[in-house]
Every structure is written in structure tokens, then in C-alpha cells.
Amino acid sequence: MASYYNVHSPEKITLSNALIEDSEKFIERFTDYHFGFSYFIYFSSFLRHYMPFIRSKVKYLLKNRDHLFETLDMIIKKRRKEIEEIPMANAFSFLVYYVCHSPHVKQKMIDEIDSVFPPNTSFNLKYDDLLKLEYCDAIINEVGRIMPVGNEIRRYLANPAEVAGYQWEAGTMIHIHINGIHSHKNHWSNPEIFDPDRFYKENDNNEMNDKARHKFSLIPFGGGLRICPGRKLAMIELLSLMVTVFGKYDVDLVDINAPLNTKSGSLTTCGGLPVRIRSRKLPV
């Protein structure tokens, strides 16, 4: 994006020049690779090997292809490692932990899954069907409240502003403590208790009413203009995992008394969660 901005804007970004230059080279290689196909489509093998001008161009295109593929391989390896450490796996691990510690929640969740995706039948995970899992959705929200993967949100003040009753100068970096908000008694009653009914439609508790709660009292995906653009996809992925795992298998913790193994930095990650998985004994 910075490279594209520099091409089209009279004002140039000067930070991270090496990164911008690498990006420009990558785009150039990709463009040359794309348009270089014509040499292999329209010129015979003989011309590509022996016609001086064409031969030199083909050598460049092959060398460019190798550099491009090496770069793509490097990106894939890096992204593969990032994917292995993405918050989705942590969120589902936390969900399994809390659900397995709450048998009544677990049974209610399984009953809802079975009502939408009947046992002993093959099912396709359709978006409209996943939206019917309102109690499962409530579980995800409560897990996100009591054990948020992100620990803080940072906001930069471009202009002087009042925050929490204090005046702050322009250029101040504000660190918003997510867990502090999610466990604050001004927003939640008994915040230390895992209770998905806070978000379930059948509960008359005002906490489940979005209009009654402060709009930023629940921010597992951040908030405002910079709220996570992938939040809806994340919810669908979690619902799909719940259906696939709990709809087909009995899942229990190996040691119900073991504390949740977490590591905290900028994110809270699950260090390990030993579980016992067996096929569900479904009625015939």
C-alpha cells in the first residue's frame, strides 16, 4: 500500500524505505511474470533458445520467475506460522475449557446443535443454519468477554481530547485494557462467572440487551472505525467448529481440575489443553 501510495501521490512516505522498495520489486516481478507469458505462447522453443533478443528476454523472465516463486514460498511459510498462532485456535480452546467446566451449558449447546443439525444425518454448514445457533453465539460472546484473546487496544490522539474525564494532548497513545472493561462491575454483574445467558435472547437480564449495555462494554474485536473487519467471519468459523466438533464427538478435559494454561503478551494464548475425544453415542 505504501508503494502504491508513493507511485500516485506527490507526497512520499519515507519510513521503512527497504520495505517499500521490496514491495515495488515484488510488484514489478509479478507484472513481468504476467506479461512474459506471451514469449512462451507465441514464440517456438527454437526462437526462445537461439534468437538473440528473444533468448535474453526469456532468460530474464525465467530468472524473474524463480525470484518471484522464492518470494511467494517465503510469504507462504511466514503466513503458515502466523496461521498456526492465530487467535481463532486460542478462542476455540478457551471455549472448550469453559464449556467443559459448565455441564449445563454444554448440554444446552449440544441440544441446540442437534435441533439445527440432526444427529445421524449428513449436513452441510449453511450460513442461514449457523445463524440459528443463538445459544452457541451467546457462548462465543461470553468466552470473548471472560477470556479475550487481545489484551489491549491502542489509539493515537491526533488532536487534544478528553478521555475518562482527563484532558490529553495530541500525540498521546491511549492503551485500552480490554479485560478490565470486560470484568468491570459497572457493566457486568458477577463478571467472574461464566454465564452465556447474559447474551441469550431467552434471558430477561438487561445485560443481554445491546441497547441497555454500553456499546463498548464488549470489545473482543475492538471497536469504532478500526473494529476488526473479519469479526463476522471469525464468528462463523467458531460456530462451524462448534457444530463439527461437539455435534459429532464427546469432548472432555483430561484433567478437569487443571488450571487453564495461558501465556500473555500482546495476545493471550493457550499453552495447551489436553482433551479426550470420543465419537458420540447417538440414538439409532
3-class DSSP assignment, residue 203:
coil
DSSP 233-277: HHHHHHHHHHHHHHTTEEEEES-TTSPPEEEESSBEEEEE--EEE
What is the C-alpha to C-alpha distance for residues 103 and 275, in angstroms, rounded to an integer? 15
Query: What's the angle, vertex CA 150, arms to CA 145 and CA 154, rounded to 5?
Result: 115
What is the C-alpha to C-alpha distance for residues 274 and 252, in angstroms, rounded to an integer? 9
Note whether 73 and 209 are within 8 A (CB).
no
How many other CB atoms are found less than 10 A from the CB of residue 100? Answer: 17
Q: Would the annotation count 100 as a binding residue?
A: no
Q: Helices 231-246 & 87-100, crossing angle to 10 degrees?
A: 50
What does the H/E/C string look like for 114-167?
HHHCCCCCCCCCCHHHHCCCHHHHHHHHHHHHHCCCECEEEEECCCCEEECCEE
Q: How far is CA 238 from CA 125, 137, 138, 180, 242, in A?
A: 12, 9, 12, 24, 6
Note whether 140 and 238 are within 8 A (CB).
yes
Q: Write out the binding residues for heme.
A: 228
Q: Write out the binding residues.
A: 228
